[in-house]
Amino acid sequence: MTNSVNTNGVVAGRLDADALADNFSDLHPPLDDHEALVAADRCYFCHDAPCMTACPTTIDIPLFIRQIATGTAESAAKTIFDQNILGGMCARVCPTETLCEEVCVREVAEGKPVLIGQLQRYATDKVMDAGVHPFERAGATGKAVAVVGAGPAGLAAAHRLAMLGHSVVIYDARPKGGGLNEFGIAAYKSVDGFAQDEVDWLLQIGGIEMRYGQALGDGLSLDGLKSEYDAVFLGVGLGGVNALRAEGEDKDGVRDAVDFIAELRQADDLTALPVGRRVVVIGGGMTAIDAAVQSKLLGAQDVTVAYRRDKSAMGASEFEQVLATSHGVRIAFNAQPVRVLGNGKATGVEFERTDSSGGELKPTGETFVIEADQVFKAIGQTLTMDAGLEIERGKIVVTSDGRTSADGIWAGGDCALGGDDLTVTAVAEGRDAAMDIHAKLMGKGA
């Protein structure tokens, strides 16, 4: 191997295959039986439990943990999947530190929450590893629903609709399903092809047909779907990426963080994946952290996340920030990009120091440069479809049941207004929209 962490430029093979395999192994190795019992034993089975309220899908956490504690992890999994059919992925990617585990009474009392996420993984793995799908389809209703987007929202909606007896066709622009579970999140959160396994497992319900390589505006039209199906659910996510609005964005070495992450997730051989020696990630959300940490794990020497506001405003959770810094990523706060430097190739980014102490972002006039041969943009994604639906703040306006402004069209997940852009939120929105579609199609809805 000729390249190392000291090689300048954007190159592959900075680390050998063993080091990369180690770096990209499971972030939280699964609990074994004993660890699971010890962890479950700490749950107090709280009344009207804060963890359950904090979960966007309202999983009955005290119940499933008690079911683990009494040796019935399969029942625990059923409790989880009843509310969240992607409970396996959510157990891996949920920012539990800002959801269930943040409000766990033992976190509040002792600073050590019950390991809810890992216990959820323990239970769901048990059932999924056994290939058991604990749901059965109801009798066919004769109704057909189109789901656009095979991400968490679309999959959750499709599963619920199929379970209720409707026939479902899922369209997705990509060649395989999973959405951001497959293409978006950090590799160490979903190892061993879990995202695809989960899609396959979910489809065991039956009644769901997958049609890949089809996107709205590219072979599909909303009007066409409306006329062909009894209902349409849009879970298209946010396909576009915000521009940097800084000079030099077109230089070599500057790219979208989501593309980098998707490429990394789909790579068969990480030693062939190029990464810069000095990497700057611009943004403050989970995508920024995922791109930064994975750059570091690929062998980048210096990685900086530059965020234009202060720590308290950062979208990435404290856990994610610590994860990044513990991997040697530097987080620069109050750094607003001014221009990408370099002659053709990026060599650095010039930032202006901001002051956000009063809540309002104010430039200070002071500038500084961070060297970079690779720059990732992670400053948010945008909705790319516009089919005459009411849009607000760049997202599709929906009711709490997921209804859009157009009759017969529902939407959920990142493309819909309201809720955090989290897998678990998308699942909840997809599930709830499915229940509303069901009520409408069966003549029970308004």
Partner 1 sequence: MADLRSEFVGIKSPNPFWLASAPPTDKEYNVRRAFEAGWGGVVWKTLGEEGPPVVNVNGPRYGAIYGADRRLLGLNNIELITDRPLQTNLREIKAVKRDYPDRAVVVSLMVPCEEAAWKTILPLVEETGADGVELNFGCPHGMSERGMGSAVGQVPEYIEMVTRWCKQYTRMPVIVKLTPNISDIRKPAEAAHAGGADAVSLINTINSITSVNLDLFAPEPMIDTKGAHGGYCGPAVKPIALSMVSEIARNPVTANLPISGIGGVTTWRDAAEFIALGAGNVQVCTAAMTYGFKVVEEMISGLGQWMDEKGHESVASVVGRAVPNCSDWQNLNLNYVAKARINQDDCIKCGRCFAACEDTSHQAITMSADRTFEVIDDECVACNLCVNVCPVENCITMERIEPGQMDERTGKVVEADFADWTTHPNNPGTCAAE
Which stretches of the chain bind partner 1, using CB under 8 A?
33-34, 37, 41-42, 45, 47, 60, 62-63, 66-67, 70-72, 74-75, 78-79
Terminal-residue alpha carbon distance, the chain = 66
Cβ closest to partner 1, residue 60 vs residue 102: 60
Residue 70 CB, nearest distance to partner 1 (Å)? 4
Cα distances (angstroms) measured from residue 29 to each of 92, 189, 191, 209, 251:
10, 10, 10, 33, 40
Residue 34 CB, nearest distance to partner 1 (Å)? 5
Residue 81 CB, nearest distance to partner 1 (Å)? 13
Contacts (Cβ under 8 Å, ≥6 apart) of 144: 166, 167, 168, 169, 228, 229, 230
How far apart CA 269 and CA 254 sit, in angstroms, is 22
Cβ closest to partner 1, residue 17 vs residue 38: 38
Closest of 409, 395, 63, 61 to residue 232, by C-alpha = 409
Residue 376 CB, nearest distance to partner 1 (Å)? 43
Sign for the CA dihedral angle at 301, 306, 311, 314 comes to negative
Angle at CA of residue 429, ends 428 and 433, nearest 5°: 120
Closest of 361, 212, 409, 303 to residue 14, by C-alpha = 303
Cβ closest to partner 1, residue 65 vs residue 387: 65
Cβ closest to partner 1, residue 33 vs residue 129: 33
E strands, 3-140, in order: 10-11
Cβ closest to partner 1, residue 134 vs residue 217: 134
Residue 165 CB, nearest distance to partner 1 (Å)? 20
Cβ closest to partner 1, residue 66 vs residue 226: 66
How far apart CA 184 and CA 206 sit, in angstroms, is 26
Closest of 146, 145, 151 to residue 238, by C-alpha = 151
Cβ closest to partner 1, residue 37 vs residue 220: 37
Side-chain-facing half-sphere of 46: CA atoms under 13 Å: 16
CB 433 within 8 A of CB 100: no
Residue 32 CB, nearest distance to partner 1 (Å)? 9
Cβ closest to partner 1, residue 42 vs residue 137: 42
Cβ closest to partner 1, residue 43 vs residue 238: 43
Residue 115 CB, nearest distance to partner 1 (Å)? 15
Angle at CA of residue 138, ends 431 and 213, nearest 5°: 55
8-state DSSP, 416: B
Residue 434 CB, nearest distance to partner 1 (Å)? 24
E strands, 237-289, in order: 240-241, 254-256, 275-276, 278-282
Residue 69 CB, nearest distance to partner 1 (Å)? 8
